[in-house]
């Protein structure tokens, strides 16, 4: 018999729904670090992040136990979407509307951004970029910061980012484009030379 750790997410959800709590423990162990780091990255407060993290998994538990979870092979994206919505609710409660929005701008970004698969060279460049921009990312508007985090740290596709954040793929791409432009501008002011593509 396979160990729970060897099973796919969807099978673990099914086993948990049938009453095996260890299956959900396995899912929690599998995704707790990524989901918590996403939440903490967004709210920058340990206590708030802990609360939102707990609420994320409680909502997941309730949804699965009520038989409302729809299997689509993207359990991590589903969890991230729950966390995202709770983060949005948190900021709405704070009425923190200090971010500059780029949602009203409509660009055809498919002609501006290369969407090729990652090559070894791109992976090396990406790792260098991650090291170079960690501090600069903090100065981005929240929606741009979020897309950068999901794309580079969670390695989600733009389609998944769009689904999680509830925007079109073009808007997700636009936020990434603005984030990269802002990072280049900030790097230029600090006389850093970033290889952002």
With beta carbons less than 8 A apart as the criterion, state whether 43 and 52 touch: yes
Pick 109-189's CATH classification: 2.30.38.10, 3.30.565.10, 3.20.20.370, 1.10.10.10.
1.10.10.10
> Residues 135-147: pLDDT tens digits?
788 888 989 988 9
Q: What is the pLDDT of residue 191?
A: 60
**CA 47 and chain centroid, separation:** 20
Tokens of 54: 């707990």
Q: What is the pLDDT of residue 152?
A: 78
In the structure, what pLDDT confidence band is assigned to residue 12 with cuts at 50, 70 and 90? Answer: very high
CA dist., res. 130 & res. 149, Å (int): 10
163 closest CA partner among 185, 147, 140, 180: 147
Task: Give the DSSP letter of residue 45.
Answer: -
Q: What is the pLDDT of residue 181?
A: 84
CA dist., res. 48 & res. 6, Å (int): 32
Q: Where are the domains of the chain?
A: 4-94, 109-189
| Residue 48 CB contacts under 8 Å (≥ 6 apart), including other chains | 90
In the structure, what pLDDT confidence band is assigned to residue 9 with cuts at 50, 70 and 90? Answer: very high
CA dist., res. 77 & res. 127, Å (int): 22
Tokens 């260890």 correspond to what residue?
22
Q: What is the pLDDT of residue 83?
A: 93
Q: Of 161 and 189, which is predicted with more confidence?
A: 161
Q: What is the pLDDT of residue 88?
A: 87
Q: What is the pLDDT of residue 97?
A: 46
pLDDT of residue 107 exceeding 80: no
168 closest CA partner among 178, 153, 158, 183: 158
Q: What is the CATH number of domain 4-94?
A: 1.10.1740.10
User: Hey, is 156 helix, strand or coil?
Assistant: coil
In the structure, what pLDDT confidence band is assigned to residue 192 with cuts at 50, 70 and 90? Answer: low
In the structure, what pLDDT confidence band is assigned to residue 125 with cuts at 50, 70 and 90? Answer: low
pLDDT of residue 35 exceeding 70: yes
Neighbouring C-alpha atoms within 13 Å toward the C-beta of 117: 2
């Amino acid at each position: 018999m396979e160990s729970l750790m060897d099973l796919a997410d969807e099978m673990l959800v099914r086993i948990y729904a049938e009453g095996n709590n260890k299956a959900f423990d396995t899912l929690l162990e599998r995704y707790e670090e990524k989901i918590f780091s996403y939440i903490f990255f967004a709210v920058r407060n340990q206590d708030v992040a802990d609360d939102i993290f707990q609420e994320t998994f409680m909502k997941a538990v309730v949804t699965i136990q009520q038989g409302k979870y729809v299997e689509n092979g993207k359990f991590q994206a589903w969890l991230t979407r729950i966390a995202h919505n709770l983060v949005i609710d948190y900021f709405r409660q704070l009425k923190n509307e200090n971010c500059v929005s780029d949602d009203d701008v409509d660009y055809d970004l498919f002609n501006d951004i290369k969407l090729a698969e990652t090559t070894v060279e791109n992976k090396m460049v990406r790792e260098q970029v991650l090291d170079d921009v960690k501090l600069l990312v903090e100065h981005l508007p929240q929606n741009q910061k979020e897309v950068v985090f999901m794309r580079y740290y969670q390695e989600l596709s733009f389609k998944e980012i769009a689904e999680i954040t509830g925007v079109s793929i073009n808007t997700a791409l636009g936020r990434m484009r603005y984030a990269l432009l802002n990072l280049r501008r900030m790097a230029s002011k600090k006389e850093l030379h970033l290889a952002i593509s």
